[in-house]
Structure 1
């Protein structure tokens, strides 16, 4: 199985798990909200249902980004996954704004008087927090493993749902204790955390779309890998660009000018193969050979 096949298979597996759990949670929270007389839990159920839409965006983005190169897209389609991540970051930001706006309106209006919710709503909120936190760590683990910005965005969507459930839990406890203001105050804090996550995801996706170079540590490791090849006397130039979740490398090496073309070409080929083998994320590398300065 190729790296591309493994990437798509892993992303799809995680996404399907997300869809199943979100559907189950939505149904469970809706049931609890209706029968335990909790408007906060009904709203939380709708939030979980909306996450299914977000995960579908991830699946579409991963599927399209995994397509092979063609005449119109000779460098592949990896950046389309970044588009999916940007869409998810926007949805995440809108979710946070919605939570924050609703909370501020309640605080300004002094709308804290709600009917006491039943214990079932309390149990549903706790279960939701635990499940969504597990889904966050599960999705985050695989997002880091395959370096998927779209999957990482979906992981933070799970975290936003967990935070939303914390707000619902606080609201339910507050309502049962007679302190209805606790829910909107918690929601304002939750909004801030969600907006920070959305910003980080958005900027990461944008950086991957504008040919941002690799970090300094990766650059140094690539140089060291090339210098370990017999026949390489110096690295004259190294440029890298992050393309979706892949890396493109342009390198100029210095070799003995007295060698034949075949010999220096063989050195360049060894550099090319060594870097591709040591750095699986490198999709394409161009190695140019200069005569070493005397």
Structure 2
């Protein structure tokens, strides 16, 4: 996916959320429904962080420069955490309003508004479309910011459904369902924030990638015909991408040119993994006795010990 396409995703998200704010805000003003109002606040928060996403995607898709030789992708986890802050703020505000309404007994206007039903059903449809759109883009780009946005849009489908239950319940003579539905919406909003934080903290603290990916990295090193073993394999996130370093064992009578070719082959093989950015390979002559047993390697390859 090109840089222009990635930025277009951010623009589409922003435009859709702004339209939803206008639609929900108008219905909220006309009906006084707390459920619809909570959805309007939710979309307002979505619009605010859509601006951040758009700016973040612009920065992350800029080419490498002298100050940022690896590009700007590593800013994405910070963009995602900023999204989470906005989500938590919106969820907290909606929960406070719903709670105070239930405790005080002050509910919105009764009756079922066709406009409220229509805007909530329309919201669910739009959010489902945005969820699929963002998820597809995230899978193609390995973008944590787009993944976070996809999750938010997925949960917005559920919150719109909860708000719809509140509106319909109010029309059936149970006005307390309106603020209760708003409370359910707030829980969904807060859970979205939690998911975003959970997904992006690993990128910031340099956690190891999933075990299946680590196993594939080790296998790509060990399948080279001249590699006798591997040890000290370290793979960790640097931003949304992965840096890999490892030691390989080769016969000590290899020439410098041959050792260089082996190293280059392994680097290129591991770099073919979409998630991997940099690969650092240290070549050890087997005869030096630097080999060390590495139980992690044995577990990852799920076969005989790595050393042949």
Q: Which bin holds the TM-score, normalised by the shorter protein?
A: 0.7 to 0.9
Cross-structure match for 1:224: 219
SS at match of 1:251: strand
* Per-residue Cα deviation, 1:128-167 (whole angstroms, up to 9, x for no partner): 1222122223212322332211112222332454344334
SS at match of 1:230: coil
1:213 to 199, 208, 229: 208
Cross-structure match for 1:19: 14
* Per-residue Cα deviation, 1:36-62 (whole angstroms, up to 9, x for no partner): 565643553353244222112112112
Q: In the alignment, does 2:265 pair up with 1:265?
A: no
Cross-structure match for 2:228: 233
Decide whether aligned partners of structure 1 residues 242 and 10 sit closer, same or farther in structure 2, where only a CA change above 3 A counts. farther
Cross-structure match for 1:44: 39
* Per-residue Cα deviation, 1:64-110 (whole angstroms, up to 9, x for no partner): 12333444334432221111000001111111112212111111112
2:74 to 71, 79, 82: 79
CA contact (8 A) 1:38 1:118 kept: no
2:119 to 120, 124, 130: 124
1:95-244 correspondence to structure 2 within 5 Å: 95-112=90-107, 114-244=109-239
Unaligned runs of 5+ in 2: 290-308
Partners of 1:25 and 1:195 in 2: how far apart?
Answer: 20
Partners of 1:35 and 1:192 in 2: how far apart?
Answer: 25
Cross-structure match for 1:250: 245
Partners of 2:4 and 2:155 in 1: how far apart?
Answer: 25
Q: What is the count of residue pairs matched by the alignment?
A: 288
Cross-structure match for 1:289: 283
CA contact (8 A) 2:228 2:249 kept: yes
Partners of 2:130 and 2:221 in 1: how far apart?
Answer: 40
Structure 1 segments of 4+ aligned residues over 6 angstroms from their partners: none
Stretch deviating more after TM superposition (181-190 or 279-288): 181-190
SS at match of 2:278: strand
Shift of 1:205: 1.4
Partners of 1:104 and 1:36 in 2: how far apart?
Answer: 19
Partners of 1:113 and 1:44 in 2: how far apart?
Answer: 14
CA contact (8 A) 1:78 1:243 kept: no
SS at match of 2:232: strand
Unaligned runs of 5+ in 1: 1-5
CA contact (8 A) 1:23 1:49 kept: yes
Decide whether aligned partners of structure 1 residues 98 and 25 sit closer, same or farther in structure 2, where only a CA change above 3 A counts. same
Q: In the alignment, does 2:27 pair up with 1:29?
A: no
Decide whether aligned partners of structure 1 residues 7 and 95 sit closer, same or farther in structure 2, where only a CA change above 3 A counts. farther
Partners of 1:84 and 1:134 in 2: how far apart?
Answer: 23
